Structure 1
Amino acid sequence: MFAHSKKLLAAGLTALLSLIALPLMAQGPDALQPAQPKAAPAEAASAALPPTTGQPSGGAQIEAQDLNVWLDGFMPYALARGDIAGAVVVVVKDGQIVTQRGFGYSDVAARKPVDPATTMFRPGSVSKLFAWTAVMQMVEQGKIDLDADVNKYLDFKIPPRDGKPITMRNIMTHTPGFEERFRNLIVDKWEVRPVGEMLKKWVPHRIYAPGSTPAYSNYATALAGYVVERVSGVPFDDYIQRNIFDRLGMAHSTVRQPLPAALQPFMSKGYALASGEPKPYELVTLAPAGSGAASGVDMARFMIAHLNQGGALMKPETARLMHDYRQEVIPGLNRHALGFWEQKINGRTTIGHGGDTAWFHSYLWLFPNENVGMFMSINSSGKDGVSGPLRTALIEGFADRYFPEPKPAPVALSTAREHARMMTGTYTGSRRPSSSFFDFMNLMGQVKISVNDKGELQVPAVTNLAGEPRKWVEVEPFVWESMDGNERIGGKVENGKVVRWTFSSFGPIMVFDRTPWYRSSSWLMPVLIVSMVIVLLTALSWPVGAIARRRYGATLALQGTDRKRYRLLRAAAWLVVLVPVGWMLLLSGGLEGGGGLTAMFLLLQILGAIGFVGLFALALWNAWRVLKSDSGWFAKLWSVLLAVAGFFILWVALFFHLIGLATEF
């Protein structure tokens, strides 16, 4: 999930886009693609593992030949269409690797094919499953209590919220209530520092009571890794190596940073596009949240252990506690287990985890009841956000082929229309920044739900594989299912009103709450746009007026205090116009950087505060002076409009934390 943070900041702030990056299907004409080598042959699993059992009725048998034919028809086209360099897919069942497939290249220039056994990919936040497994090992040993105050295990303090401390159970279900952290999460160059030092540098603001609201948190996961380090007495990367990788024979896996020299020959390069240049090895500053690198076959070993009731990693009862715990967020939608999150596909329950760095995109799915698991990873972002649709299409195609299930019957039409009407409104995501200037993203990224003239639910933010809004059918009270897939939307009703909603892919880790009226983009955005136009025209009147007077030999009629007021007001207007431009220019290059970048952040916040407050104060003074004068009606009207514009710009600046001195966010 890291790419959501880094890429969203660089691109999202420049374009003032939403906090939530929803995937779009690759579109447009085919580009020239590197030739794709044949998939690496499947290898038999260890003979010591139990044989594959029968397949539930209704779908194809999960066997190597059928899987390979299906994957060979799907993956090469998907990679070529999306301008993706390489991928790995492994499928396990009943303790065996059914197939392990490498597609494309780990190094395009060297034409080095992906080897599923040895080529290492960055699984991003799938690496969190290593940290969660380590936590459960500590729980099994009695060294961590899931429901104790986490401060018990720390050498610094996490403040309570609403009088309640956070617990490890909160952390493992992403409900500690932290705001999102962005800066320097993934970097290209970094002096590796202990995770404890990074955690103590800045504790994110708490925006929810613990246990109440899912809000995905890399900081919280790193906190869990630090707890493992402290209670075990072993550095986190050493602990994972000894107690997970070595136990399972994962010889091509690590969470160490930088990448150990012995593993560097096996590491796939990462790409924005396969047709572009390779990117530097990414470094995760909050290492336990996503520093891993692993081969497909090693991830198969990890899946087999979890499917085998913990295998060599933990006792069966510990594995059941980890897998079977279900924290409900919205009735009828996916829930969160301990570390894993639930994804229902074709009526079957899976648990898994997704992961993204800037260049690698991965997903791990386990079907516990069927004893089946799948892991996939690609080494390129690809065109038009293709990584998300590719993963969705792969798992849904797999489920449709091997675990087909009829669609549920719809709710009565009249009831569905009324429920859809109750869902309408403007909502803000729970995974968000809140205490810094990045709060402005929450104005730009609010999600609107409406109904069409047929009374059908309209949620433009949740799109299908083609990037188009989905069509929804209500299948349970306040639960809608997409007509073209397994995606679901659900609303939570309190006192006869829908207060929050989410969709099944994000449900366990993020919800959308109704936006308070004073922060709602439904009226603030139009007002803000009009206000900025008024301020821009006022700012332009200064140089335009000066040019006109010079051309025609005229002089500014104002004298003394009025002339000073004229110039100060327009100087403040220019400041209000130019500060957002400065933000966009500064952030368009990402958020990596040290003291120099921090100084620029502080400077822009100081200039913004002067501009926002100064414009409103000067506009009020100007309106008072103009209204008392014998100026014409237009000058009087404009002075009032400018004062109103200054008021609403200051409103946004105050309610969205554009005035402050934040350097950590």
Structure 2
Amino acid sequence: MRILPKAAAAVLMASLCLPMASGAQQLPSAPIPYETLNPKAAPRAPARPRPAARPPSVPTTATAGTGVAGETPEGLAAPTLAPEQLEAYLDGVIGSAMARDRIAGVTVSVVQGGQVVLKKGYGHASLSPARLVDPDRTLFRIGSISKTFTWILLMNEIQAGRIRIDAPVNLYLPETLQVRDQGFAQPVEVAHLMDHSAGFEDRTLGQLMERDFNRERPIAQYLRQERPRRVREPGLFPTYSNYGVGLAGQALTYVTGQPFEELVETRITQPLGMTRTTFREPHPPRAGIPAPMPQALAQDVSEGFRWTAAGGFEARPFEYLGHLAPAGSASSTAADMARYMIVLLDDGAYGESRIFSPATARAFRTPLRPNEAGVNDWPHGFIAYALPGGRKGYGHAGGTLSFTSNMVVVPDLDLGVFVSVNTENGAELATRLPGAVVGQFFGPDQAPAQQGTPELARLGAMYNGHFLGTRRAYVGLERFVGFILAGVSVRVTPDGRLTTSGLAGTQTWVPDGDPAAGRFVSTTGSQRMAFMIENGKAHSFRGTFNDARFQRVGLWSQPQALAWLAALTILAAVSTLVGLALRNRRDLRQTQIQSQASLIQTIQAVLWLLAIGLFVSWVSGAGDTAKVVYTWPGVRMILASACALVASALTLATLASLISIWRGGRRLDSWPVLRKVGFTATTLIYAAFAVVLLHWGALTPWSS
């Protein structure tokens, strides 16, 4: 991806409570059954037996690889990872990725059987002064992995009976933060926040992250001022929402009377001994803002980097996310995340204490709303991963502008993998590494399918089309950018395979069963996608992570239509200005109305060229994703929109003048026919372009 697509990747990833007397979370003596926690779900089978509680210490690499292995899906004992072989493999994979993708630093940890098999740092955490990545000391931003801490705290309150999972979230929020109905009949429930089905639009630009601490706001103020629109009834389907997780964090604060950061510390990180994990950020103390990260941690936080066109790493300012801490402000080390994964695999047990109950552990592996499509079904806020060999993992990925992280635990293998990179270009490594480890050491049950089918080739009309994702803004200039970034084109090839093409690249799929059923598997791995089909036509689909629904759209919502109309507008505008310069005296004979219409169309030509030129200029500067997010919408985008708005408004005048233009006056005092045809064609092109821009939200310079 380049320029605007590169910005899209970061934007779309990012792409984010009763005080206890003792350190460990105390749960009810009689655990509440899972079916009580989630009365809408079907009963679940009993959890598999777990080993006895492990001691509250995480062995070093030297003692790793001696724990009890889990069970494979076939019921055979899972192989135990050998530290030396794992380290050699990771050295090769990570080293190659760092050189190929220009990654400054990586931190990784792998656990199995209650032991740390490997924890290791690669590259640099800072360049000036030079500081190497230390898996025990260096803190990386883990982004949306932060959400798993929020879900643990929330599920504990649900199990304690202080929050009901099927109750409206407004019951647990102060009046100023309650979700307004906005014309929708159904209230947003707690469960809707956990599987991202609340129905919010997703806004990112200009407010999700800050680089200037002076712009930081308390979370309650942020949630009040940046309230997204509700765009659909809750519970229909997931569309990832950082805002929804922020509401969950505030519900915890409202119910317990304890700030969110303190809740994490007293109920999770301190009891686990995760002394180098924090939701606090490095900044000066300020009233109304949570206390800063301790200096002993702040000095070990990795910088974030981007690889510049000049051929070097550029350090970026710290990315402030404290205003939405429950969704993404955590920083941690590979060693601390190893301890966290061991507890997740041991159903919340930590020594003689429990961070969460076995019922909660089952919930984190059980979907709130089951589906049979093979895609992520959001097991109570966690992500379900399809892994090689038909295995299933659980965890979460996380991305800021510079950091990308991934944490996956595989209960069947008693395995956990955590990886984080500190450079914008490292998303592919972080995304693929856990699955690569599983595939390398535990083996896929079969090679990915490669061949298409003649049956699918005959069904091209069912699937071919352009689909627009629901994870985007729905009004204003950000809607305009969302139309460009969130679109995916689907095509069936003559050899019976299906391709999806968007700004993230092109991927190839083959049918997973009956081609008419709408389920597909990637030709390069275990990813899946599922189409929803009505009346013989696919109207939408969901991808592996099921974080948005992609819905079929018509011609006027497709980038190709916008591009063609922009090209025609440029041609018409240039022709208008050239004609003005070359027109002879005979051609200057015109009625008063024709003279005024010509002046208006000349002004339009200048405005359209300015608008398109300013937008192209904005795109050319969008290679730095941080600049796009922090400075949105920026002077160039506002001016481009304003020029387009005025040009579009003037189109109303030229449209109204068409009848008078064609009537003209006497033959010698009026335009020739060819000029009338040219004026009419130009007016219609401008009108069509204006209508599409209005539909895309590009004519709202006042909206950021």
Q: What TM-score bracket applies, with the shorter chain setting the length?
A: 0.7 to 0.9
1:98-137 equivalences in 2 (<5 Å): 98-137=117-156
When normalised by structure 1's length, the TM-score is: 0.84
Identity %: 25
SS in 2 for 1:440: helix
CA distance in 2, matches of 1:15, 1:95: 39
SS of 1:266's equivalent in the other structure is coil
Distance 1:62 1:89, change over 3 A: same
Q: Tell me what 2:419 maps to.
A: 376
- Post-superposition CA distance 1:69-123 (Å, at most 9, x none): 2112222222122211111111112222121111112123444221111111001
2:420 partner letter: S
2:648 alignment counterpart: 612
Note the aligned Cα RMSD (angstroms): 3.5
Partner SS, residue 343 of structure 1: strand
Pairing of 1:61-72 with structure 2 (within 5 A) = 61-72=80-91
Provide closer, same or farther for how the CA distance between residues 104 and 455 of structure 1 changes in structure 2, counting only shifts above 3 A: same
Q: CA 1:513 to 1:624, structure 2 compared with 1: closer, same or farther past 3 Å? A: same
Aligned-partner Cα distance in 1 for 2:207–2:482: 20
CA positional deviation for 1:511: 2.1
Report the Cα offset of residue 209 of structure 1: 1.6
Deviation at 1:534, TM superposition (A): 4.2
Task: Please say which of residues 391-400 and 405-414 is displaced more in the overlay.
Answer: 405-414
Kindly provide the amino acid, as one letter, of the partner of residue 198 in structure 2. Answer: P
SS in 1 for 2:313: coil
Which of the numbers 105, 109, 112 marks the counterpart of 1:86? Answer: 105
* Range that drifts further, 428-437 or 570-579: 570-579
1:167-213 CA distances to partner (integer Å, 9 max, x unpaired)?
A: 12111111111111122211211333210100100321122221112
Report whether the alignment pairs 1:568 with 2:611.
Answer: no
Query: Is the CA contact (8 Å cut-off) linking 1:601 and 1:663 kept in structure 2?
Result: no
Shift of the 223–15 alpha-carbon distance from structure 1 to 2, 3 Å rule, reads: closer
Aligned equivalents of 2:240, 2:639: Cα separation in 1? 31
Match for residue 181 of structure 1 among 193, 196, 203? 203
- Partner AA of 1:318 in structure 2: T
| Secondary structure of the structure 2 residue equivalent to 1:267 | coil
Q: Cα distance 1:45–1:77, how it changes in 2: closer, same or farther (>3 A)?
A: closer
Q: 1:341 aligns with which of 383, 388, 393?
A: 383
Q: Partners in 2 of 1:566 and 1:211 — Cα distance?
A: 54
Secondary structure at the residue paired with 1:281? coil
One of 269, 281, 296 as aligned partner of 1:257:
281
| 5+ residue gaps, structure 1 | 1-6, 24-41
Counterpart for residue 490 of structure 2: 449
- Return the letter of the residue paired with 1:363: N
**Alpha-carbon offset, residue 451 of structure 1:** 1.7
Find the partner of 1:152 among 166, 171, 192: 171
Q: Are the structure 2 counterparts of residues 95 and 184 from structure 1 closer, same or farther at C-alpha, using a change threshold of 3 Å?
A: same
The SS at the match of 1:135 is helix
Q: How far off its partner does 1:501 sit?
A: 1.2
Indicate the larger mover: 69-78 or 14-23: 14-23
When structure 1 is superposed on structure 2, of 358-367 and 399-408 the one drifting more is 399-408
- 1:305 positional shift: 1.5
For the 8 Å contact 1:536–1:573, the answer to whether it is kept is yes
Q: 2: distance between equivalents of 1:472 and 1:214?
A: 24
CA shift for structure 1 position 520: 4.2
Q: Secondary structure, in 3 states, of the residue corresponding to 1:500? A: strand
- Give the direction of change, closer, same or farther, for the CA distance of 1:133–1:140 in structure 2 (3 Å limit): same
Q: CA deviation at 1:644?
A: 1.3
Task: Report the Cα distance in structure 2 between the residues aligned to 1:525 and 1:18, rounded to whole angstroms.
Answer: 24
Q: Is 2:647 aligned against 1:625?
A: no
Q: Which residue of 2 aligns with 1:201?
A: 225
SS at match of 1:324: coil
User: What's the CA shift for 1:54?
Assistant: 6.3
Aligned to 2:366: 324
Please tell me the residue identity of whatever aligns with 1:374. V
Q: 2:684 aligns with which of 644, 648, 662?
A: 644
What is the CA-CA distance between 1:419 and the residue it aligns to?
4.9
Q: In the TM superposition, what whole-angstrom CA distance separates every residue of 1:263-319 from its partner, at most 9, and x where no partner exists?
A: 122111211139323221111242221111100111112111111112232111122
CA separation of 1:613 and 1:18: change in aligned 2, threshold 3 A: farther
* Structure 1 residue 297 corresponds to structure 2 residue 335: yes
Distance 2:370 2:549 in 1: 12
CA shift in 2, pair 1:600/1:158, >3 Å: farther
* More moved, 389-398 vs 49-58: 49-58
Report if aligned partners of 1:140, 1:314 keep a CA contact under 8 Å in 2: no
Whole-Å separation in 1 of the counterparts to 2:66 and 2:8: 54
The partner residue of 1:577 within 591, 599, 609 is: 609
CA distance in 1, matches of 2:7, 2:452: 42
Counterparts in 2 of 1:635 and 1:539: CA distance versus 1, 3 Å: closer
Call closer, same or farther: CA 1:230–1:635 in 2, change over 3 Å.
same
3-state SS of 2:121 partner = strand
Q: Which stretch shifts more, 82-91 or 475-484?
A: 475-484
The equivalent of 2:46 in structure 1 is none
Q: Match of 2:188, SS?
A: coil
Q: What's the offset of the Cα at 1:351?
A: 1.2
Equivalent residues of 1:87, 1:102 under 8 A apart? yes
CA shift for structure 1 position 540: 2.9
Q: Which ranges of structure 2 fall in alignment gaps of 5 or more residues?
A: 16-57, 283-292, 622-626, 665-669
CA shift, 1:408, in A, is 7.7
**8 Å Cα contact 2:172/2:254 also seen in 1:** yes
- Determine the C-alpha separation between the residues in 1 that align with 2:585 and 2:164: 82
Shift of 1:473: 4.5
For residues 572 and 517 of structure 1, the distance between their equivalents in structure 2, rounded to whole angstroms, comes to: 25
The whole-number CA distance in structure 1 between the counterparts of 2:692 and 2:160 is 51
- Residue aligned with 1:184, SS: coil
Structure 1 position 425 matched with structure 2 position 465: yes
1:436 aligns with 2:476: yes
How far 1:468 moved relative to its partner? 5.6
Cα pair distance change 1:468/1:605, threshold 3 Å: closer
Cα shift at 1:428: 0.6
**Contact 1:89 1:116 (C-alpha < 8 Å) held by counterparts:** yes
Residue 154 to residue 583, structure 1, CA distance change in 2 (3 Å):
farther
Q: C-alpha separation between the residues in 2 aligned to 1:441 and 1:593?
A: 14
Q: CA deviation at 1:415?
A: 3.8
Segment drifting more, 214-223 vs 576-585:
576-585
Aligned counterparts of 2:590 and 2:638: Cα–Cα separation in 1: 36
The aligned residue for residue 318 of structure 2 is 281
Distance 1:578 1:304 in 2: 58
Q: 1:391 Cα deviation (Å)?
A: 2.9
Alignment of 1:466-485 (within 5 A): 469-475=507-513, 477-485=517-525
Shift of 1:389: 4.7
Classify 1:185/1:71 alpha carbon distance in 2 versus 1 (closer, same or farther; 3 Å): same
- CA 1:585–1:68 in 2, change beyond 3 Å: closer, same or farther? same
Gap change, CA 1:103 and 1:601, over 3 Å in 2: closer
User: Structure 1: how far apart are the matches of 2:9 and 2:393?
Assistant: 32
Look up the equivalent residue of 1:336 and give its one-letter code: W
Within 2, Cα distance between the matches of 1:593 and 1:124? 21
Q: Are the counterparts in 1 of residues 420 and 430 from structure 2 also a CA contact under 8 Å?
A: no
Matched residue count: 621
SS in 1 for 2:671: coil
- Cα deviation code 1:543-582 (max 9, x no counterpart): x735x57xx9999545755433322222133223323444
Aligned to 1:270: 304
Given candidates 516, 519, 529, the residue that maps to 2:566 is 529
Q: Which moved more, 1:470-479 or 1:259-268?
A: 470-479
Instruction: Tell me the residue number matched to 2:395.
Output: 352
Cα deviation for residue 372 of structure 1 reads 1.3
Residue type at the aligned position of 2:569? M
**Aligned position for 1:315:** 357
> Cα 1:612–1:176, aligned 2, differ >3 Å: closer, same or farther?
same
**C-alpha separation in 2, matches of 1:47 and 1:79:** 28
Cα separation, partners in 2 of 1:581 and 1:289, compared to 1, 3 Å: farther
